[in-house]
Structure 1
Amino acid sequence: MSWQSYVDTNLLGTRKITKAAIHGLDGSLWATSKGFSVTPTEAQALIKAFTDASGIRANGLHVGGTKYIALRADDRSVYGKKGSGGVVTVKTKQCVLIGAYEEPIQPGEATKVVEGLADYLIGVGY
């Protein structure tokens, strides 16, 4: 299965994620949904937040040109909120999954999808 298939099928295909991307831990783009672009600067800031969240706690989390308020940041997951939408990002051994959602999708629905795919990828060595 290609990385694009994970974005299209496992994230967008659930209809609980509206935009998605997968980046390597070096910031490189592995796959993304159409029209969703996480800049190299945004990717690097996000990856840094898994070890030091002070930057996103002070300045917000920027993903795909949207600024989110950081709700959670630890060594596995970083969640952000903007209005009635948000973003769920989860780090695996080799990559970062990014899933954005908008109303009427509930945060818990989006979180379950991204965290579930991360659990699977970690289980198979990614």
Structure 2
Amino acid sequence: MKPRTANSMNIQIFGTKKCNDTKKAQRFFKERGIKFQFIDMKEKGMSKGEFNSVAQVNGGLDNMINWDGKDKDLLALIKYIADGDKLDKVLENPQVIKTPVVRNGRQSTIGYRPDVWKTWK
């Protein structure tokens, strides 16, 4: 099997166009000549499968939520509803997910994490 090069990475960046950390993540990969796919979470959130695979690697659903976000009522609802309903409520309201979410196959990060991205092959 060939070693993975920058060109064989499959980078996806989930975020919003206004998020500064998302812009910094895009710049990080552009500066290194690494192609990426940008998914605007205002237009197309994450699928349940995508979300679950990222949550599993990053400490679970609660770590994926930006608890300091603007919509305090929605965040309070998410905090106190049954765990079974929590995932659906988060997926219906992708603005509560911390951004950027950066994926490279099974690897993923939440937030601006160049220290981790530099180790990806």
| TM-score, length of structure 2 as denominator length | 0.29
Structure with a larger share of its residues in strand: 1
Structure with a larger share of its residues in helix: 2
Q: Which has the higher contact order (CA 8 A, sep 6+)?
A: 2
| TM-score, length of structure 1 as denominator length | 0.29
